[in-house]
Amino acid sequence: MTKLLVVATSNPGKLREMQAYLANTNWELTLKPEELEVEETGDTFAANACLKASEVAKATGNWAIADDSGLQVDALNGVPGVYSARYGTTDSERISRLLNELGSEVNRQAQFVCVVAIASPDGAIALQAEGICRGEILHAPRGNGGFGYDPIFYVPEKQLTFAQMTPELKKSVSHRGQAFAALLPQLANSTEC
C-alpha cells in the first residue's frame, strides 16, 4: 500500500529528485501547499531540515520529508553554510562573492552538506540522515551543468567539478546522494514508517 509523503518544498525540481531517490519505496510524494511557508530560522542544516519536515507534517496532517543543504568552506570557518542560498541574489553573484572572500587563500578545502529529515503527522522527527561531499573551491568556474556553486566545486577523486558531471555521476557522489543513501536503509528497517 502506498503512503503519502509531503515534500517540504514548492520546487518541482526537488520533488522529482526526491522521487528518483525514493523510487523503490512505497511512498507517494507530493509537493507541499504553495501558501505554507516555513522560514529557515535554524543555525544548522539539521535544525532547518527538521523544522521544515515537522511544520509541514503538522500543517498537512501527513508524513513529510525535508532537506537542507549548503556549502561550507574550511578557510572561511564554514561560511556560507546555512546562508548558502542567501549569500547573493543570483548564482553568479554568490560565486563571485565567495571567490572574492577566498581571494588567494591557498587552503581551498570545502564540503557540501545535506541533511534530510522525515516527520510523522504529529510533527515528531522519525528519521534523519546526513551526507557530506568533500572537494575544493577553484579560482574560476568550470563546466556548464548543475546549479548554484557547482561550477567552482571540484571533486579531486573524479577530477571534475559538479558542473562537469553527468546528473547520474553527481547523484552518486553528491552530499544529497549520500544523505539519501544513508536514509534508505533506515527507512527499510523502520517499523514506524
Residue 9 among known ligand-binding residues? yes
Per-residue x/- track, 145-174, ligand IMP (CB under 6 A)? -xxxxx-----------x-----------x
67 is catalytic: no
Per-residue x/- track, 66-105, ligand IMP (CB under 6 A)? -xxxxx------------xx--------------------
Min dist. Cβ of residue 122 to ligand IMP (A): 25
- Residue 55 as a binder of ligand IMP (CB under 6 A): the answer is no
Apex CA 107: angle with CA 103 and CA 108, to 5°? 75
C-beta of 58 vs 171, nearer to ligand IMP = 171
Binding residues for ligand IMP (CB under 6 A): 67-71, 84-85, 112, 146-150, 162, 174
Binding-site sequence positions for Mg(2+): 39, 68
Catalytic positions: 68
